[in-house]
Amino acid sequence: MTNKFYKWEGLGNDFIILCAEPDENSSKLAKKVCNRHLGVGGDGLIYLFLRQGLLHMEIFNSDGTIANMCGNGIRCLAGEAHRLGLLNLRERTAVMTRSGLRYVTVEDSDPYKVTVDMGRAKIAVQHDKCVKVDVGNPHLVIFLDSEDELNSFTLMREGEILDKLEPGGINVEFAYPADKNIIKVRVWERGAGETKACGTGACAVTAAANYLNLCNERVDVQLPGGILSINLEDEHIFMCGSANLVFEGEFYE
């Protein structure tokens, strides 16, 4: 049995998109196709489908676990939905996720640039430099004092430990506010490990930094895979960034 897929990436965070509804085999399939040696390779498997005229997104991490939301993933899904004629250019469109409705706008298609209304952040400060933020999925944001700390070789090991200490796991962001307009970030994602970028992570970092008066309401978040522009407006977080189709093909189950 063959399956048509579309391989997309957003700032190096890469996904395999299937135009189908998930089923009982989806977790197993995600682990298989996301394997970078034995499969297509990706940080996650995304299902794109329509139900009663509404776009839906279901995403599985590379380890087979279910993710409630994914900022880079939803931009990629919006790009593919536009290619398939399911949404129009520059038209605000609702997408149902496990975290509720999110609204996407494909600003440009050559290359793809997508803005997402990510909704509101829920913030819980643990201490001055450590903040828990929920933006549809859970994040632990840790602020560092220097770029040298951010570039530390052992930093991601700490992220892995913190992820496993939280019941159900948690995404961990290490952030260095270079100034009020730029935040540099590295990410440990539950279910995927260190990734080039994390859209919800960039939103969580900005919300936490703004809460602590470390940044303005408009910020460029610099991740290893590139830059995401984050705008805080009327208590909502707006994320804008690229999405690119890498290739398409068929894989065998």
Model pLDDT for residues 41-50, shown as the tens digit of each residue? 999 999 999 9
Flag whether the pTM goes above 0.85: yes
Q: Which residues pair with 134 in a beta bridge?
A: 122, 138
DSSP line for 15-50: EEEESS---TTHHHHHHHHH-TTTSS--SEEEEEEE
Confidence label for 204 from pLDDT (cuts 50, 70 and 90):
very high
pLDDT of amino acid 180: 97
Q: Mean pLDDT for the chain?
A: 96
Residue 22: is the preceding peptide bond cis (ω within 30°)? no
Domains in the chain: ranges and CATH: 2-118+241-252 (3.10.310.10), 122-234 (3.10.310.10)
The strand pair at 138-143 and 171-177 is best described as: parallel
pLDDT of amino acid 151: 93
pLDDT value at 232 more than 90: yes
pLDDT value at 155 more than 90: no
Query: Which amino acid is present at 216?
Result: N
pLDDT of amino acid 253: 78
Query: How far apart, in whole angstroms, are the C-alpha atoms of residue 188 and residue 204?
Result: 13
Instruction: Report, as an integer, the average pLDDT of 151-173.
Output: 92
Query: How far apart, in whole angstroms, are the C-alpha atoms of residue 208 and residue 173?
Result: 11
pLDDT value at 1 more than 80: no
Residues marked active site are found at 70, 198
Terminal-residue alpha carbon distance, the chain = 6
- Taking the alpha carbons of 225, 230, 235, 236 in that order, is the dihedral positive or negative? negative
